[in-house]
Amino acid sequence: MDDDSDEFQALCIAIGLTVFNWAQVEQALDVFAAIAFHECGGDGLGEDIPRSLTRKVAFLRKCLNRLPKLSGFKKEGLSLLSKISEGSRSRHNLVHSVAMNISPQGGSYRLVKFDYERARHTVNNIDFSLSDFPALAKETTDLATESLNLVCRVGFHLGVLEGSPERPHAKKRH
């Protein structure tokens, strides 16, 4: 393979690992929101179970701040939600952009993203350097690990998950 092909594969791996890790984060937030809603009193906060990332983060912040059953996880949970919010923009830009070239120019790929704004649409150019990938990979892998770890500990603490931290599963209801 030539260098351009290897670099393009590296870009594809960067995007793929970001998507893979972020799916782990979102799944953990889905489970956490379901536990907070059904097991901790979150259904009394006047909201439906959230689906979008922004609404999940806002709902879980409200739950961590207001629900006594989650008080032992408040500091860690709020910190994690802040990290997820901060990391979501990079992930969103990388995943929802289009590469304008299959060969890097000056060590970076030019990505273009069409954004919808209230009054008009905009086109944003994003430069993604493969040298940025190790930090992005670490960030998204750490967020995935922290998210899954927290939701498992919450689930085990509340008795809604059983098994082991390596192989948790929902507790059967009778």
Question: pTM of the full predicted structure?
Answer: 0.87
Q: How far apart are the first and last CA of the chain?
A: 58
For position 35, what pLDDT does the model report?
A: 96
Provide the total of helices (H) and of strands (E) in the chain, helices listed first: 4, 5
Instruction: List, edge to edge, every strand of the sheet that includes 121-129.
Output: 98-99, 108-116, 121-129
Q: What is the largest CA-CA distance in the chain?
A: 62
* 1 DSSP assignment: -
pLDDT in tens, the chain (174 residues): 456 678 888 888 989 999 999 999 999 999 999 999 999 999 999 889 999 999 999 999 999 999 999 999 999 999 999 999 999 988 888 888 998 888 888 888 999 998 888 888 889 888 888 888 899 999 999 999 999 999 999 999 999 988 776 777 777 664
104: helix, strand or coil: coil
Give the per-residue pLDDT at 33: 97
Beta carbons within 10 angstroms of residue 149's beta carbon: 14
| CB atoms inside a 10 Å sphere around CB 67 | 18
